[in-house]
Amino acid sequence: MNDQKYKDLKLFLSVGRIPAGYSGQRLRDFRRRDARAYSYHGRNLWKDGRKVLPKSRAKRVIQDLHEMSGHPKADALQCLVAEQYSVEGCRAFCRVVAKDCLSCKDESLHFVTDGKMTHLTPAQRLHLCDRLKLPPGAFAIPLTE
């Protein structure tokens, strides 16, 4: 949700004032569709029991959740975010965060083929987040310290 729409909904639901610039069909759509789907409690917007995050805060919150929950991949991160928050464009944010995570890129990863453990090159490690193509019969073993 863009920041302006977030502010407009917050103003309307908290005070009952119609935001500037809403008239005619736009006002009817706002009242019928947008304002009914959301609620306002504790200085936050809520939708379907989940806190609504504007785009300006969504990426930072998703990055923090990614770091605090053990650096999950994009799909798992999306599930974690969807449990607590309502974020417009959640899938895209989660993919960007997982792809750009330096800890995930630097994680030392080995793969095993025919009983031998081989270290991956740095170029191969860059494909770690959802892009690593392992040879048939191989599986990844993340090494932790």
Among 17, 10, 50, which Cα is nearest to 34's?
A: 10
- The tokens of 44 are what? 């936050």
pLDDT of residue 108: 46
- The tokens of 78 are what? 């999306």
Q: Rounded to a whole number, what is the largest CA-CA distance in the chain? A: 71
- DSSP secondary structure string for all residues of 9-57: HHHHHHH-PPPTT--HHHHHHIIIIIHHH-EEETTEEEETTEEEE-HHH
pLDDT of residue 96: 92
DSSP β-bridge partners for residue 40: 45
What does pTM read for this prediction?
0.62
Cβ(9)–Cβ(35) below 8 Å: yes
CA 17 to chain centre: 31
Among 136, 122, 38, which Cα is nearest to 86's?
A: 38
Q: What pLDDT tens digit does each residue of the chain (145 aa) get?
A: 778 888 888 888 887 888 888 888 888 887 777 778 888 888 888 988 899 998 889 989 999 999 888 888 889 999 999 999 999 889 999 999 988 888 777 654 555 555 555 555 544 444 443 344 544 444 444 444 3
pLDDT of residue 101: 85
